[in-house]
Structures are given as C-alpha cells and as structure tokens.
C-alpha cells in the first residue's frame, strides 16, 4: 500500500535532500520550498528517519486540499478515519504552520482541527480522545499556505538535525543536516580525502565520518514518534535498522583544522561523543597556512567549510583578504579539489575566487537558521 509523505529540509537545498530521499527509496520526489513530497510504502518512514541525513522531519499526509474558510478545515479533518492511527488511551496535539492572509490565527486553526479529530474519533468509537499540548503521544501537523491545507502526522518526533552527540556548542554551529547538504553538494565518494579547514566544533568532519560509516540516525538514543502509532511494525523496523547499521568497508581520510584552542577542544569533545575518534583527524592550526599543518601525503580532494561571515559591517573589509589567503593556502596543498563553502559575504568570497583563480561551478541561496547565506561549489 502506498502512502503520501512530506519531509522537511534546509530551504535552498531541497534538490540535494530530494536526491537523498530518492536514493534511499527509489521513488520519484517533488521538492518544494523547504519540503519534499513523495509516495512510498510505510517502510519509507523507517528508511528516511534512519538514513535521511539532510532531512528534519517526516510527515504522513492524511489529507491535502484547498479551502475557503476555517469551517472547511473542520469538515475536511472530521472526514478522516483515525482509528487505524491512534488508540483510545493515547493523547494528541495539533501544531499549525500558517502562511498568507486569513481571517483566523494559527491558534484558531489548531483548535478547530483538534476538535474535528476528537469529534471524528468519538463518532466512530464513542470515545473522546484527550489533548496533551506539552507531551502528546501523537502530533498532528497542519500546514496552511494561502488557500492550501495539508493535515499530516509527525512520524519523526524531534527534528533529525538534533543528532544528540553535541556536547560542545560552537557559537556559530551548523545544523548537522546543513553540513550533510554541503557534503552531498560536493558529491563526495568517501574514497576522496576530505578536509574542513575551519571546523569550529567539528560538525562537518563528524557528519562526513558518520556518513562514511553508514551510522543510522538513531545511534544517539533517539526515540521516534512512529513507534507510538498503531500501525508501527517493530519487526520491519528492526530489519531495516540492522540494514542501515551495516558498516561500509571504506575508511576515508577526514581532517578538520581549527585555529581557536577553545573550539579545537570542543571539537575533540564532540568527535569523542559521536564515536568517530578513529575516523576524524583534528589539527590545531590556521586555514591560511594549511601546508604548515597537513601531512605532505594528504591531498584533499573534497573541501567543505563554513566560512566566517563577518556579520558586523566593520569586519567585512577583512573578509576578502581572509578568504583570499585561505584559497591560496588551499591551492598549495591540493592538486585538484571540489570546494563547498558557506558564507553570507558572497561578494567578498567571489572577489577572493577571482583573486586566486578558483572557478565557480554553482551557487545557491540557502537558509542557515533565520540567516540567508550562499552555498558555493568551486573547482580548485
């Protein structure tokens, strides 16, 4: 039986995340502004939650329609059969994300949808479901954009970008999902020597190592929301989990360089917590002098870096020189490499590319939290 699903991801990297889901499930996917839509069997819930490194949450779509007024949301929601989803003793909550101009608030919509769920279940079972807004067993998610309405069920729980290994919080830390999007942006093959020359708290090299080790996303004591569903198949889940736990034979060379002793120690703590000490080589050093720190036989072929942004205008003047010096240093330690770089100072980075003679292959605007930044793919 096929179900309709929606998965959320980094806005701007929908194509990368879509390709990941397509590879996991061998199905057609439709990316759409921070979301990916696809149809698949129920096993997709397990596969994407365990292996979707660029994904935040997976939702099972219960209905998708257009509406005119608030009462339409009630009618559409009440027409759904919930008996196969939720047990009489379980609680639920409704979360609503709303975009566009409406005569009602998101709170109004959540209340109306919640009442419809209660009335629908009570009409078919004579049992009134209980609401628990703080810690529900099941979470319904209403997505409203202009006249479009999607009601879905959260199959993940807490966002997958919260991996659970981070014991040191870098002040400008990337979401692990964004780090994975950058890595996939480069089409890294695992056999290629990998470098993050400004690794901060170590997120990028850690995610590269976890990716190469094929370590599933439940490795850090995660509890998935789908386990509370009536249709959850524990045997199938265990079978798929065991498949995702199979280690790959490849052992890539992964290096991270960090100039700050404080962040370097934090990266070491995170690498240890993530269980990739044997896979990630961390070096205390300056990205502008890579030849001084990297082994002579290490020639990076894939370089992924979250550059300093210089948000304050007073620092912008330093960025072009910093970026230029880094690129010169990088050219000195590699014969050829694909570089993925993230920054909000795109003009300064483009000038640095011209200064050093590094060719720009692709660029795209993506969201780093609430900050719009640019992801560059370059050939060094």
The encoded tokens of residue 212 equal: 């190469």
Percent of the chain clearing pLDDT 70 (strictly above): 98
Please report which confidence band the pLDDT of residue 365 belongs to, taking 50, 70 and 90 as the band edges: very high
- Which pLDDT value is given to residue 260? 97
Q: For 176-215+250-379, CATH number?
A: 3.40.50.150
Higher pLDDT, 135 or 309: 135
Residue range 198-251, pLDDT digits in tens: 999 999 999 999 999 988 888 888 899 999 999 999 999 999 999 888 877 778
In whole numbers, what is the pLDDT of the chain averaged over residues? 95
Please give the pLDDT value at position 313.
Answer: 44
Task: Report the topology of domain 3-154.
Answer: VC0802-like (3.30.2130)
Any idea how long the chain is?
Answer: 380
Give yes or no for residue 282 having a pLDDT over 80. Answer: yes
Q: Which pLDDT value is given to residue 244?
A: 84
More confident residue, 48 or 317: 48
Tokens representing 24? Answer: 């996991």
**How confident is the model over 146-163, as pLDDT tens digits?**
999 999 999 999 999 999
pLDDT for 92 equals 98
Q: Hey, where are the domains in the chain?
A: 3-154, 176-215+250-379
Nearest by Cα to 307 from 318, 292, 299: 318
Q: How far apart are CA 247 and CA 204, in angstroms?
A: 20
Task: Tell me the β-bridge partners of 9.
Answer: 55
Per-residue pLDDT averaged across 356-361, rounded? 96
Check residue 66 and give its pLDDT: 97
pLDDT of residue 315: 65
Task: State pLDDT tens for residues 32-51.
Answer: 999 999 999 999 999 999 99
- Backbone φ, ψ for residue 155 (5° rounding): -100, 0
The answer to whether residue 111 scores a pLDDT higher than 60 is: yes
Helix axes 14-25, 176-185, angle to 10 degrees: 80
Q: What is the pTM of this model?
A: 0.95
């Amino acid at each position: 039986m096929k179900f309709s699903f929606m998965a959320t991801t980094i806005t701007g990297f929908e194509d990368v995340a879509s390709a990941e889901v397509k590879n996991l499930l061998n199905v057609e996917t439709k990316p759409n502004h921070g979301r990916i839509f696809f149809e698949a069997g129920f096993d997709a819930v397990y596969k994407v939650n365990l292996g979707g490194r660029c994904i935040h949450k997976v939702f099972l779509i219960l209905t998708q329609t257009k509406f005119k007024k608030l009462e339409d949301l009630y009618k559409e929601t009440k027409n759904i059969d919930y008996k196969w989803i939720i047990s009489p003793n379980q609680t639920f909550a409704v979360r609503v994300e709303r975009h566009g101009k409406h005569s009602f608030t998101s709170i109004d919509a959540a209340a109306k949808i919640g009442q419809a769920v209660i009335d629908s279940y009570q009409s078919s079972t004579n049992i009134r479901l209980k609401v628990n807004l703080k810690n529900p067993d099941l979470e319904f998610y209403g997505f409203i954009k202009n006249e479009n309405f999607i009601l879905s069920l959260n199959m993940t729980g807490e966002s997958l970008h919260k991996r659970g290994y981070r014991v040191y919080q870098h002040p400008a830390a990337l979401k692990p999902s964004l780090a994975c999007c950058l890595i996939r942006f480069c089409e890294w093959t695992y056999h290629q020597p990998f470098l993050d020359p400004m690794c901060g708290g170590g997120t990028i090299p850690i995610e590269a190592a976890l990716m190469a080790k094929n370590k599933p996303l439940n490795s850090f004591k995660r509890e998935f929301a789908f386990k509370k569903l009536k249709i959850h198949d524990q045997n199938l889940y265990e079978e798929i989990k065991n498949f995702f736990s199979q280690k790959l034979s490849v052992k890539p060379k992964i290096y991270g360089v960090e100039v700050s002793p404080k962040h370097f120690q934090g990266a070491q703590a995170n690498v240890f917590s993530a269980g990739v000490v044997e896979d990630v080589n961390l070096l205390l050093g300056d990205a502008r002098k890579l030849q001084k720190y990297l082994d002579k036989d290490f020639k990076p072929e894939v370089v992924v870096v979250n550059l300093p942004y210089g948000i304050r205008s007073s620092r912008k003047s330093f960025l072009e020189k910093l970026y230029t010096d880094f690129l010169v240093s990088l050219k000195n330690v590699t014969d050829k490499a694909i570089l993925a770089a993230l920054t909000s100072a795109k003009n300064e980075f483009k000038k640095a590319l011209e200064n050093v003679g590094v060719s720009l292959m692709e660029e795209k605007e993506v969201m780093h939290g609430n900050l719009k930044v640019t992801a560059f793919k370059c050939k060094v």
